[in-house]
Amino acid sequence: MRRVIIIALLALLQILPARLQAASALEMKAEPGFGGRFKYGEWLPVFVELENFGPDLLGEIRVLITSPTGQLDFNLSAELPTGARKRYTLYILPNNFSRSAKVEFVVEGETYLTQTIKLTVIPNDRYVIGSVSVNVAGLAAVNPPQLTGRRERADLINLALADLPERHEGWRALNALILNDVDTSALTPAQSSALSRWVAEGGRLVIGGGAGAARTLAGLPAELQPVTLVNQQEVAALPGLEHYTGAPILVPGPFLIAQAQPVPKATVLLSNQAKAKAEIESGNSLALDSALALLIELPFGAGHVDFVALDLSQSPFNAWAGVTNFVEKLLSPGAAWPQFWATDVAPQQMSDSQMYYALTNLPALDLPSIRFLGLLLAGYILLVGPVNYLVLRWRDRLSWAWVTIPLLTLVFSGLAYGLGFGLRGSDIIINQISIIELGQAGQAKRAQTYVGIFSPRRQRYDIQVNAETLLRPLGQGAYDPWSGSVNTGGTMRVSQSNPARLQGLTVDQWSMQSFVAEALPDEQPGLAVQLTAERHSIWGQVENRSSATWEDLIFVFNAKFQKLGNLGPGQTAKIRLDFDDSTSIISGFGSYMLYQDESNRAGDANREVMFKQSVLDSAIFNGNRPDLNDRPLLVAWQKDKSTLDIELAGYETQTQASTLLYYPLTLNFDSRQVVIPPGFSQLELVSLTGDASTCNYGTGLDGSYVYQGTAETKLSLPSQLYHIQPERLDLYIRTDGSWPNLPTIELYDRLEENWVLLENAKIGSNSIHDTARFYNTDDASLQVRISNNGGNGGGCLFLDIALEGERS
């Protein structure tokens, strides 16, 4: 026995120094992305540098996020040969109470190194600007701007190119990114791809010019390049910039401008000329393309790329009082945080909380029919009562009732249990709901797959998703967005690899647990749409160029819709919507309107309608997508086609899959003569007073409710419509209520800088004369104020611009 103890001690002495030696030969440095700032419900990148001076090691980087309901273990495999120095990026989901996180390097269950990183939560309505610039001056050192429609001033975070994540999910804490005088050819392909997807989802990229314009543009993806560089030119003054900001430039010139030509889909927003008041009154616009362009904008997906021809860290920006005004005017379009959105919840979290109920829409989870249960109960009462009594009396064995009644009760209990087991089944069911959003040229821009695991018994499952994706658990029941926590039932491991893994997902008996995976489909949807706009209609066609059938296509625009039916491979369908000037809006326009004819059907048809309504309300008709308000939308469905391959280790499963595709459509307004029907306006709330608020029914509808007070709004058309001289301009007014007398409608006079009453305002089309006074061609906008003293009527008012004109 003594010999065994001595041998064990000697072996332990051999092992311990080796482990300690390996740990001492390692160095780890962990830094959270964006300085540790994170928004509720958004991914945060953590950059970990490891250097190994010892023997080869195979371990994992681990970050634990603890909540009252369990732990989330985010981990990433790390292979470190001798002498290796590597940089890894792990993405974590801090909850609403996270103020620090522990980063560990673990080998075979042993923790070798540990470092604590500090985290800072910022509200979701805070506008966050990232800046990558060699010289931290000018825009990189600007005072925090106050953007229109934001409660607080913006945050400015100075970054390096290496701090930009390689996954687009890690970019969502940023609203805008400034690149100035940096060599973007150092971006990795993954960073470039992530940047493109971030812009397509609504981000704003600002590119600085000047002497460093070429190197800043060098490594950017082709789709994010708004200009072609021509030359460089020095100018003595910048009157266009002074006019743009309303602030004089007292810094002496010269100023170096990067001469550039806009690419076909880009627009010159500002040239180095000032528009005189006389020119505004005459209605003549500047020939911006012939002047030196100072600001050029390219729309890309739901986002924008802005090229500023000047170096943003040099003169005049590094010594000019108007630099904050410039940033505010540049970034304010589209920056407003909707009034009805919570400030401590990500819009995606709100959608997630609704999607859980769609996942539970399974036949296996249905209760038995009331009729069947009634028959079963009636049979039990008859058998235990009269039938049992009559039989025992006939056999003269009434004393046996002490045995027969419990026996019959047990038999019926067994039947009821068998019925429940038969309905619920013994199969593990994987329910997948994929939501695909199309972007430029009909390519998949964003795809999320919600996965629900239904289990007939209480079990912990290890799940493998055969894709390179980040897995986001939703937990038991509906995810509570305000707590930020997920009921994991212990520790759930989220492995970020290819394939991705989720280990330790606990599912109660006959219950469901769910998670989200974000990965683009391997096969493009193949829907091609052509649209043409006229004054009172929009028409075109959709073609299915894929090998699969798309079902139940619906075209939605301007609170109207057209059902197109199913579309097989190679088939086309015609689109046409006509607009009536005085058509009222049905209160609460949403998914139920699309399926009102089918909603009263019984059985499986009604189940399918309820399922589709639930998914549409979660993804689109929820007020969380203001970027869909000014464009047509195509909706389509597919059944039994999964976008993800999911395996449960050691278990056979059944899969139920559904796919929702939605395609925000963009019309081509490149022709010289332009006709814009109502429906393309984006409403921006400028101010509210008294009893007034906003109204939002989801895609295509954004309005104002004014009972006793005022609502000042700005209506803007897409940037492709800048610098169009209106030959005819109409303000459309619609309502979902009843207004015997409309409230006071006023237009802002840009020349006299005061409000002018819109005479004889009515529901429907209202012609606007002297358009140069009210309509700003520089940003295709019209300012409208609604005032009401109460008692005139009720309901929301929805405003729109219709325009006919010629491009200057």
Closest CA to 427 of 456, 465, 400: 456
Cα–Cα distance, 777 to 805 (Å, whole number): 11
* Range of 7-16, 341-350, 672-681 with top mean pLDDT: 672-681
Question: What pLDDT shows up at residue 352?
Answer: 81
> Is 697's pLDDT higher than 80?
no
> Is 288's pLDDT higher than 50?
no
Helix, strand, coil percent values for the chain (each to nearest 5): 25, 40, 35
Longest dimension (CA), the chain: 119
Cα–Cα distance, 507 to 555 (Å, whole number): 39
Rg of the chain (C-alpha set): 31
* Range of 208-222, 341-355, 552-566, 674-688 with top mean pLDDT: 208-222
Cα–Cα distance, 230 to 513 (Å, whole number): 57
Angle at 304 between CA 300 and CA 306, to 5 degrees: 125
User: In sequence order, which ranges of 189-296 are alpha helices (DSSP H)?
Assistant: 189-200, 213-218, 239-245, 277-282
742 token code pair: 């409309």
The CATH number fitting domain 123-331, selected from 3.40.50.880, 3.40.50.450, 3.40.30.10, 3.30.930.10: 3.40.50.880
Beta carbons within 10 angstroms of residue 595's beta carbon: 19
> Is 293's pLDDT higher than 80?
yes
Question: What pLDDT shows up at residue 308?
Answer: 96
Cα–Cα distance, 512 to 432 (Å, whole number): 12
Question: What pLDDT shows up at residue 701?
Answer: 65
DSSP E strands in 201-266: the ranges are 204-208, 227-235, 255-262
Tell me the sheet residues that pair with 376: none
Mean pLDDT of 659-665: 91
Reported pTM: 0.83
Q: Please report which confidence band the pLDDT of residue 354 belongs to, taking 50, 70 and 90 as the band edges.
A: confident
Phi, psi of 609 (to 5 degrees): -65, -45
Tell me the sheet residues that pair with 180: 133
> Is 545's pLDDT higher than 90?
yes
Contact 88, 50 (CB under 8 A): yes
Contact 296, 306 (CB under 8 A): yes
- Contacting residues for 230 by C-beta, under 8 A, at least 6 apart: 259, 260, 261
Summarised one tens digit per residue, pLDDT across range 327-349 is 999 999 888 887 777 787 787 88
More confident residue, 149 or 166: 166
Summarised one tens digit per residue, pLDDT across range 487-534 is 555 688 999 988 999 988 888 887 888 899 988 888 888 899 998 888
DSSP E strands in 6-80: the ranges are 26-32, 37-39, 44-52, 57-67, 70-80
- Contacting residues for 395 by C-beta, under 8 A, at least 6 apart: none
Beta carbons within 10 angstroms of residue 113's beta carbon: 20
Residues above pLDDT 70, as percent of the chain: 86
CATH number attached to the domain at 673-807: 2.60.120.380
What secondary structure letter does DSSP report for 186? G
Mean pLDDT of the chain: 84
Q: Please report which confidence band the pLDDT of residue 287 belongs to, taking 50, 70 and 90 as the band edges.
A: very low
Mean pLDDT of 288-296: 71
Cα–Cα distance, 797 to 745 (Å, whole number): 11
> Is 477's pLDDT higher than 70?
no
Contact 535, 765 (CB under 8 A): no
Question: What pLDDT shows up at residue 282?
Answer: 45
Question: What pLDDT shows up at residue 663?
Answer: 92
Stretch among 11-15, 68-72, 662-666, 735-739 having the lowest mean pLDDT: 11-15
CATH number attached to the domain at 2-121: 2.60.40.1930
Burial 524-535 (b: 16+ CB within 10 A, else e): ebebebebebee
Cα–Cα distance, 710 to 480 (Å, whole number): 35
Mean pLDDT of 431-459: 88
Cβ burial, residue 125 (10 Å; 0-12/13-18/19+): middle
Beta carbons within 10 angstroms of residue 665's beta carbon: 20
